[in-house]
């Protein structure tokens, strides 16, 4: 629970001076507060009331922006995969050579997962994520997995074994657990280590480890 | 929720004929029912009352075996790492050559994670796991990670990059997510694929992919 600072006294007072993110909209502040509470206190244990208190707004104001708690979580989860999905599309559009594209996507994706303000990916494991409000998130994450499969199949030698794309996707997402478990995770070194390991998994000779 | 079959009518009736696991003790049946409910319905949403109902015993009988819900979860989590930890100790005792030992440990560990009746590893991500009742589980999982680090350092060439042990540990544990996400995960093929990928990550030339 440390690091979670609900502000019970803030309910209803003017928001100026209480902002979590200086240049953010109320909507962005709600997402940020929810991400912190969900990741550190847990999704089930976090109410929309608690989120509103952490932002310093009334619960009614929160409901102006989001219909319910599921919508907030869905938007947070989608934000963990959409940038990498867009980047994969860009790489495909540019017709980048498969080994280079796979390396670039892994670097980018790990960067997204490690540098987000809160480690929202930890919430992938919630049983709620299997339900309807998260169908779009699941579809987008499936598309990202598929992008890894396509690049991996193109980058690997013909005799490579099965599951390569899934193993690469799993390795990339494993930084979510490392970010939680390791005392310090030096972002840049870890990014490079993961991307290099991805190339070794597919058996593509990396230019320099 | 599918697959979860609480048996409300069973409370207090004789247990004969209602057993989930024919040859199991009451304690084992409680662990099995809890694992299913925690993994499929969620930890927060599962009460000891619901677990007792699923087993067909009174809640008081459950408390004869376990002091609280945390104790049940701790025991389930420890069971996901202890066999592999014991196996790592055995390999060290036998002075197995590092590359062979790393391959054997990955095969064994993935087997444990994929063949357990319920995918309990999905619960590693619970925020509750950071609290005191799970200190022993966390310490044992840390020891398993350390075993991978030691074997990886011994198996990898001297110029291998950082984080190799953590990457290997992350790849092995990524089968937990695959077991949940992939429509079918053919255990044997996936085990071999992970173990081969582990050797490629450390840059040790596997004898056959």
Q: What is the pLDDT of residues B124-152, one digit of tens each?
A: 999 999 999 999 999 999 999 999 999 99
Q: What is the pLDDT of residues B146-186, one digit of tens each?
A: 999 999 999 988 777 789 999 999 999 999 999 999 887 67
Q: Do residue A193 and residue B164 have CB atoms under 8 angstroms apart?
A: yes
A114 to chain B nearest CA, in Å? 15
Confidence class of residue B208 from pLDDT cuts 50, 70 and 90? very low
The pLDDT assigned to A21 comes to 75
**Which of B141, B197, B199 has the most A C-beta neighbours within 10 Å, making it the best mutation to test the interface with A?**
B197
CA–chain centroid gap for B167, Å, is 18
The C-alpha atoms of residue A53 and residue A38 are separated, in whole angstroms, by 14
Confidence class of residue B205 from pLDDT cuts 50, 70 and 90? low
Is ipTM > 0.90 here? no
Q: Is the pLDDT of residue B51 over 80?
A: yes
Q: What is the pLDDT of residues B53-84, one digit of tens each?
A: 999 999 999 999 999 999 999 999 999 999 99
The pLDDT assigned to A12 comes to 45
Q: Which residues of chain B have a CB within 8 Å of the CB of A127?
A: 39-42, 45
The pLDDT assigned to A107 comes to 97
DSSP string computed for A105-142: HHHHHHHHHHHSSS-GGGGGG-GGGGSGGGHHHHHHHH
Q: Which residues of chain A have a CB within 8 Å of the CB of B163?
A: 178, 189-190, 193-194
Q: Which residues contact B172 (CB under 8 A, 6 or more apart)?
A: B106, B109, B110, B113, B148, B194, B198
CA–chain centroid gap for B90, Å, is 19
Arithmetic mean of pLDDT over chain A: 89
Arithmetic mean of pLDDT over chain B: 89
Q: Is the pLDDT of residue A135 over 70?
A: yes
Q: What is the pLDDT of residues A95-119, one digit of tens each?
A: 999 999 999 999 999 999 999 999 9
Q: Which residues contact B83 (CB under 8 A, 6 or more apart)?
A: B108, B112
Contact with chain B for residue A162, Cβ under 8 A: yes
The pLDDT assigned to B132 comes to 96
The C-alpha atoms of residue A199 and residue A204 are separated, in whole angstroms, by 5
């Amino acid at each position: 629970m440390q690091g979670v600072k609900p502000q019970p006294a803030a309910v209803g007072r003017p928001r100026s001076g209480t902002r979590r993110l200086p240049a953010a909209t109320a909507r962005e502040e709600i997402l940020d507060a929810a991400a912190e509470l969900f990741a550190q206190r847990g999704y089930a244990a976090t109410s929309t009331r608690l989120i509103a208190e952490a932002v310093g707004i009334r619960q009614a104001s929160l409901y102006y922006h989001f219909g319910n708690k599921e919508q907030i979580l869905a938007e947070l989860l989608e934000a963990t995969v959409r940038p990498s999905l867009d980047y994969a599309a860009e790489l495909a559009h540019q017709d980048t050579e498969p080994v280079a594209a796979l390396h670039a996507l892994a670097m980018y994706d790990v960067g997204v997962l490690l540098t987000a303000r809160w480690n929202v990916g930890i919430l992938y494991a919630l049983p709620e994520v299997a339900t309807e409000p998260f169908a779009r998130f699941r579809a987008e994450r499936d598309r990202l997995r598929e992008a890894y499969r396509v690049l991996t199949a193109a980058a690997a030698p013909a005799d490579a074994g099965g599951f390569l794309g899934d193993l690469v996707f799993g390795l990339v997402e494993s930084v979510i657990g490392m970010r939680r478990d390791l005392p310090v995770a030096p972002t840049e070194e870890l990014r490079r280590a993961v991307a290099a390991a991805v190339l070794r998994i597919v058996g593509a000779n990396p230019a320099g480890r």
